[in-house]
Structure 1
C-alpha cells in the first residue's frame, strides 16, 4: 500500500466482495438547521484530529457510554430511538465498541431507516451480518486497506518460519541446553528450504494478498505466486504480480508449497481449511493463517501436522481466542530426543499481524472518510456488501 496510512484515498486498491459500479448513492439531506447524526461506538478518536474536526463539523456525534453499549441495554435504546434517527455508525477502534456482541438480524433490524453506512475498524467482518445490512440499504465498510502493509509484513515472517523452522531454532537457542543447540544446528539444515522457486498459494487476493504477493514474489524472495479468489482479478494486476489464477480452491491447494489464508471470514462460521481441503494439499506443504481462526478446523490441522502431511504451519489467529488449541500449542513447543523428530513445527502468535500504530491510525481515518463519502453521495472507499444492496441507497 503505497499511500500514507492515515490518508486513504479512492485511488488505492480497496477490496470489495462484489463491486457494483452502477450503484447510485444519494447524499443525505436534512433540514437546514440540522446535521446528520453519527452513532459513535467505542473509544474516542485519538490520532487524526484534523480529519475529526471536519467530521464533527459536518455531523452531530452521539457516543453511547460503555454501559449503554451492553447488548440488552443497547437494543432497548435502539427500540426507544434514544439516539435519534442516525445516518451512520462509526467504530474507529477494534478494541472497543463491540460490547453489544454480534450484529445479527435481531440487532440490525432495530436500526433506523435513516442509517446508510456502518464503518468499522478491522479487516474482518465475521461479527456482522453484512447481507442483512445490505438488504436494509446500509453499506458496510471495513478498513482492511489500512492493515494491509502490517499484516503482509507479518505474513512474510510467518512464511519464512514455515520454510526455516524458526520456532525450533529460537526455542533451541533460548533453552540454555547445549545439546538442543547442537542438535538444531546439525539437523535443521536438512529440514529447511529457501523460498525462491517455491509456489506460494494465496487464498484471497485482496489488499493483504496483493501486498504479500509483491513482497514474496519475483522482486525479493522469488516465489512463484498462485492464487484463488471468488472473483478473478484483472489481467493487468495478474501481470504485475506475475500471479497465476486458480478457479477452484482444490486446484490451488494441490499446487502450492505454502498456502496463506488471507480471505475474510463470514458470520456463518464455515471453515475453508478442514479435513477435506487438507486432503488436497501437496504432501509436505506448509500453511499460514493471517485471516480468521474460524476459517480453520484446528483439530484437522493438528491431524495433518501430526501425520506429517504438512511440514509446518504458522497461525496468528485462532478459533477460540484468547485460548490456543492445545494440540497446536504442543506442536509449537514440542521437544524431542536428540536426533529424532522436528521440534517446534508450528509458529503461534497472538493476533499480532495488524498490530502496529500505523494500522490504528489508518483504521480511524478510513472509517471517517468512508462515512463522509457515503453521506455526501460519493462512492464508499472500502465497501464489502454492495452486492447485497438493490436499487441504490
Structure 2
C-alpha cells in the first residue's frame, strides 16, 4: 500500500519470501533499542514516525505469513527487539493470532506490543503479560467512529431500516410497496425507551452521551461500577447482566470478547419481549443460532450487527431477515480512526521508552503483568 517508508531501514532482504533480516548495524544503531514494525508503511503521522526512527532501530516484517514469522522468531532473524508496532488493524496480522504457539518464541527482550484497533481477541493478552509484555490497544482512536455506527444501528433496529433498504435495493415494486405500506405498523421511535449498554468503557460511554440526544434512558452493566461516568450521562447501574436484560428495550454490546459467549438461549430468555440487540463488540459474544431462534419467536424484535461470529463468513439465516441489519465489521473504520491508530501506537512506544510503564497511554493487561521475567 502507498506510504512513506522510514529512512532508517537497518535490514537486507533474505532469499526467503517475506522475511527481513538485520544487516550489520552501525555503532549508532547499536545504541538504539529495536522495535518490530508489523505490516504496511505508515500513511499519515510521518513526523512522529521520524521521531520514532530516531529513538528506535525499526525492523519491518511487511506481509510475513505465520510459518515465516515462526521461523524468523526461532532463528532470531529480527534480533532482540524490545517492542512490536502494528499501525493498522487490517495489516500486520498475516501471521495470524498471537497465541501459545507464537508468544513463547518472542525474545525475552520484548516488553511492549502497541497495536491498532479496540478489540484484542486475536492476541492472548494474559499470556503476553505472563511473559512480561504489556499489550496496548488503540480503542480511544476509533471511539467516535464506533459510537456513530452504534447510533446508526440503534436507529436502524427501532425503525427497521434494514427492511426498507432491502426492499428499495431489490428494485422490486411489490417489495417497495410492501415496506412503504407496512413498516410503520411495527416500528418505533427510540426516544423515552431504555438503552442497556454492556460495557461502559470509552466507547460505551460515548454511545451513552450520543443516545441522550435521542432522549433515551440509559442503564449499564460492567464488571466495575463507574460512578463518575454514570453521573455524567445520568445512567443507572445494574448489578448483573440479567438485571440489565430485563430492563432494556435495546441491548447494546460494547465489551471485549474474553473467551466466553455473553448472550445465548438462557440470556435471550431474559430479554423483554421484542427488545432489540445491537452488537459493536465482537461477534463471538453472541450465540448466533440462539439469536436466530429468538428472532423466530419474537423474543428479539430486531438486531443490528457490525460483528459476526465467523468473520468474514456471515450467518446466512440472519442475513436473510428483514429485521436484521448488518455491517462488515466497519464500525470503527474511518480515516480519522486510522490516523489515531497509527499515532497512538507510536505514542505508547515513545512513552514507554521515556518513562516505562508510566509512559504508556493505553495498556490493557498491566493487572496480569509479570515483572520478574
* TM value normalised by structure 2: 0.89
Task: Give the CA deviation at 1:295.
Answer: 1.2
Distance, in Å, in 2 between the alignment partners of 1:112 and 1:132 is 14
Query: What's 1:38 paired with?
Result: 35
Structure 2 contact 198–251 (Cα < 8 Å) conserved? yes
Taking a change above 3 Å as real, the CA distance of residues 32 and 359 of structure 1, as seen in their structure-2 partners, is: closer
Query: What's 1:252 paired with?
Result: 244
Structure 2 contact 131–370 (Cα < 8 Å) conserved? no
The question of 1:72 aligning with 2:50 is answered: no
The question of 1:365 aligning with 2:343 is answered: yes
Task: Give the CA deviation at 1:200.
Answer: 0.3
Task: Give the CA deviation at 1:161.
Answer: 0.5
Name stretches of at least 5 consecutive residues in structure 1 with no aligned partner. 1-29, 332-343
Match of residue 100, structure 1, among 84, 95, 104: 95
Larger RCO: Structure 1 or Structure 2 (Cα < 8 Å, ≥ 6 residues apart)?
Answer: 1
Distance, in Å, in 2 between the alignment partners of 1:137 and 1:358 is 32
Taking the TM superposition and a 5 Å limit, the aligned residue runs for 1:44-83 are 44-66=41-63, 69-83=64-78
Structure 1 contact 116–375 (Cα < 8 Å) conserved? no
Taking a change above 3 Å as real, the CA distance of residues 131 and 114 of structure 1, as seen in their structure-2 partners, is: same
Moved more, 181-190 or 374-383: 181-190
The question of 1:221 aligning with 2:202 is answered: no
Query: What's 2:361 paired with?
Result: 381
Task: Give the CA deviation at 1:112.
Answer: 1.3
Query: What's 1:202 paired with?
Result: 197
Taking a change above 3 Å as real, the CA distance of residues 168 and 32 of structure 1, as seen in their structure-2 partners, is: closer
* TM value normalised by structure 1: 0.84
Q: Give CA-to-partner distance per residue, 1:17-43, whole Å, 9 cap, x none.
A: xxxxxxxxxxxxx99951010011111
Number of equivalenced pairs:
345
1:237 counterpart SS class: helix
Query: What's 2:277 paired with?
Result: 287
Distance, in Å, in 2 between the alignment partners of 1:182 and 1:35 is 68
Q: What is the root-mean-square deviation of aligned Cα atoms in Å?
A: 1.7
Taking a change above 3 Å as real, the CA distance of residues 74 and 390 of structure 1, as seen in their structure-2 partners, is: closer
Query: What's 2:231 paired with?
Result: 239
Distance, in Å, in 2 between the alignment partners of 1:178 and 1:100 is 48
Query: What's 1:124 paired with?
Result: 119
